[in-house]
Structures are given as structure tokens and as C-alpha cells.
Amino acid sequence: MIKKCLFPAAGYGTRFLPATKSMPKEMMPVVNKPLIEYGVEEAIEAGLDGMCLVTGRGKNTLFDHFDKNYELEHQISGTNKEDLLVDIRHLMDTASFTYIRQREMKGLGHAILTGRELIGDNPFAVVLADDLCVNEEGPGVLAQMVALYKQFRCSIVAVQEVPKEDIHKYGVISGEVIKDNIFRVDDMVEKPEPGTEPSNLAIIGRYILTPDIFELIENTEPGKGGEIQITDALLKQAKTGCVLAYKFKGKRFDCGSVDGYIEATNYCYENIYLKDKQKTELGKHSTQKSEEA
């Protein structure tokens, strides 16, 4: 079964300079939580408990974020500020965190291959934390994909329809519909030149990969941008075996772009943060009432 989730987190986040000059882009907060934490929560919700981070230079705050901060714990111990650490404490108790450093930036395929030692010989998930996905109507995107994997036992990429003018920013698939929202991939192109895209279905940063992908990546030549692309390795897998594309339920925000990041912030503030706050306050109110009774 799928237990591990790989987080490629070595990139420079240049679209967010100067904010990302010394801070990893995965630590950018959406409301009061860093992007990486949303990704880890989504993985835990999908039943995964081994978080494998592929990091790079200048990413030390990622290690610190998922570790105990004794000074802080001591300072706020016994105060109502402790409530603010409940979620991350739970997350640290539930999951284990392992790290490996990618010394050179040679593309997403190369980042995934760098994580091989942490993953081993099992199917695994990949989350690109700057694609923030939420689904308030039901299970998260990764949980939907894990359920699908149980049925089909092959690699799966999450896809979304995107407007024609934006499609060149993504890996793009084409395929035959085999069920509602599920396609069997027959073509896949990384960031196609305008006018050559095989469809309007863009790959979003959620993948389930079977471990034979590592060997395929090893034998993949640099592609778009001179980088080793996971899209190219997956196309080989699709041609020799099976890769599915899944049009997921839920919303996705491109937090690698300023517009998407602001949209995510507004959405999460209104639909997650404020609602949680209301629930907590209602909870406190009713405890107070029952204590008074």
C-alpha cells in the first residue's frame, strides 16, 4: 500500500523573489500555515505517514518546522497560545520526516530520482507543495488518488482543465476516457509550444507513481528547458504499461504565482481559517456553559 509521500522542495522559488531569497518557497504562509504543511496534512488525510522531503541549500527552516522547538514550547506552556500548536503537534506525532538534499537542480524528474533512497521499492505519492489543493465537499485530492490506485494499481497524475492561454505552463496529457473523470494516457508533453498542446488537460502537482518510474527516469534524457522531466518518464511508462490521468474533485491554487497565492490566501482565510475559528469559539462557549451548569 502507499505509505510514503515525496515532496520535491529544492527549487529556488524565483517567481517570489525577494521573499524567497533566504526563505524556502514551501515555507510561504497561506494565512497562518506554510504551504508545505498543507501538503503534509493532505498526505496524512490520504493515509500516508512517511514524509520524504527532497531539499536543497538554504532550506533548513523546513527541517526546523517539523521538529520540536523546546524554547517556544517552554515559553507558551500552560497559556492559551498552546492551542495554536495543536495541529502541527498532531502532524508530527502521526508522520515521520526524512530528508535528502538535491545538490544540483536538474528538473522535477531528477528531484524525484534523488528521493529514491527514501522511498524504496514501493508505490508512492508526490506532492508539489506550491500547488495547494482543497476539497471541502469530501476527501482531499491525494485521498481520491490513493483510492483510485487501489483499484487500478498503476501510476496516476492529477489533471485539471486550464484555459488555452495558460496551457503552455504545464505538462499536458491526452488520453481515452475509461470512466468518469479517468483517462488512460496516450500522450504527454511538458510545456508544449502554443498551438501544439494535445488537449486542455494540465498536470497538477499530485502524482501516484509505481517504483519502476525510477529506472525510467534514469534513462530519460534532459527534455524541456534542458531538465529531466517526470512528464517524459511517465510517457514512457504510459507507452509500455499504463498511466492514468484523473480529473480530481476540488480546487487548486497555483501558489507558485503571486495571483494564485493571493487567491489561495483569500479562499483559505474565508473558508478554512474563519470557519475553524468559529468552531473553536463555539466549542469553548459550550464547555464554559456546561461548566457553569
Which region among 72-80, 88-96, 178-186, 203-211 touches ligand G1P (by CB under 6 A)?
203-211
- Please count the other Cβ atoms lying within 10 Å of the Cβ belonging to residue 265: 18
Cα 285 from Cα 148, distance rounded (Å): 41
Q: Which stretch binds ligand G1P (CB under 6 A): 110-118, 140-148, 198-206, 212-220?
A: 198-206
Looking at 16-24, 118-126, 199-207, 243-251, which segment touches ligand G1P (CB under 6 A)? 199-207
**Residue 41 or 190 with smaller CB distance to ligand G1P:** 190
User: How many Cα atoms within 13 Å fall on the side-chain side of residue 98?
Assistant: 13
Single-letter code of the amino acid located at 179: K
Q: Which of 125, 154, 162, 202 binds ligand G1P (CB under 6 A)?
A: 202
Give, to the nearest 10 degrees, the angle between helix 35-45 and helix 86-94. Answer: 50
CA–CA dist 261, 254 (Å, integer): 6
- What b/e string do you get for 135-161 counting C-beta neighbours within 10 Å, with b at 16 or more? beeebbbbbbbbebbeebebbbbbbbe
Residue 155 binds to ligand G1P (criterion: CB under 6 A): no
By CB under 6 A, residue 131 contacts ligand G1P: yes
39 touching ligand G1P, by CB under 6 A: no
By beta-carbon distance, which residue lies closest to ligand G1P? Answer: 171
Among the listed residues 95, 99, 129, the one whose alpha carbon sits nearest the alpha carbon of residue 115: 99
- Under rule CB under 6 A, which residues in 172-191 are in contact with ligand G1P? 190
- Within residues 59-118, the interface with ligand G1P by CB under 6 A covers 108
Q: Is 9 in the site for ligand G1P (CB under 6 A)?
A: no
- Residues of this chain that bind ligand G1P (CB under 6 A): 108, 128, 131, 170-171, 190, 202-205, 229, 231
